[in-house]
Amino acid sequence: MGYRFATLALALLAAAPALAQTKSADEPGPMTIDAEHIEGVSEIEFTARGNAEIKRDELSIFGDVLRYNAEFGRIEGDGGVRMQQGVDRLFGPHLLYNSLDDTGTFEQPGFLMQRALPAHGGAEHMEFLGKDKYRFRNATFTTCSPAKEDWRLEAAEIELDYEAEEGKAKSPRMR
C-alpha cells in the first residue's frame, strides 16, 4: 500500500511542472516510478527496489533495483533489467541510460528489434549512441525466426542506425 502511494506522489511531483505550462511535442511526458520500496532525496534522486519499474512516454525499464537522477536524466538498473524503448526490447544484468539524450550502456544484453524487418541477437556490451542508434560489441544478429535460425551474423562490433537505415559490422562472420 505504501509504495503505491509513493508512486502516485512521485507521478504527481513529476507531472506538476507539466500541468503548469503547455507541453510541446518535443518535451517528455511525466515519469512514473513503481516498486515495492522507493526511497529518495527530494525530487532529484530515487532508488526503487523490488519489481521496480520506470516509465516515460515510449520508454519502460524494469529491474530488481532502479536508480533515477532527475537532474541528469540518468537511470541505472541492476538485476534482471528489461527495457522497452518504442518497439525495441532489450534485457540484461546491468543498464546505465541517459533519458535526456538516449545514450548509455547495457551489459550482456539480449535484444529483439520489432522494426519493419524484425531482428534479434545478443552481445557482451551495448552502447546507446542516441535515438535509434546502437553499437554492440562481440555480438550476434539475425533477422531469422528464433525457432528457425538459417543464418546469423557474428561480429566484433555491429552498429545499427535505424534513422539512416544502415548497419555496419567489424570482423563479421556469417554462420
- Provide the residue range defining the domain that includes 35: 1-100
pLDDT tens digits, residue range 102-111? 999 999 999 9
pLDDT tens digits, residue range 114-149? 998 899 999 999 999 999 999 999 999 999 998 899
At 168, is the pLDDT very low, low, confident or very high (cuts 50, 70, 90)? very high
Provide the 10 A C-beta neighbour count for residue 8.
12
Give residue 23's pLDDT: 52
Does residue 64 share a domain with residue 131?
A: no
pLDDT tens digits, residue range 60-72? 999 999 999 999 9
At 22, is the pLDDT very low, low, confident or very high (cuts 50, 70, 90)? low
CB 81 within 8 A of CB 92: yes
Closest to 72 measured CA to CA, from 96, 39, 91: 96
Which of 100, 118, 152 delimits the end of a domain? 100
CATH of the domain at 83: 2.60.450.10
**3-state secondary structure (DSSP) of residue 10:** helix
Could you give the CA distance from residue 161 to residue 168 in angstroms, rounded to a whole number?
Answer: 9
Could you give the CA distance from residue 32 to residue 151 in angstroms, rounded to a whole number?
Answer: 40
Does residue 118 share a domain with residue 86?
A: no
Which of 83, 100, 117 delimits the end of a domain? 100
- Domain count of the chain? 2
* The pLDDT of residue 41 is above 90: no
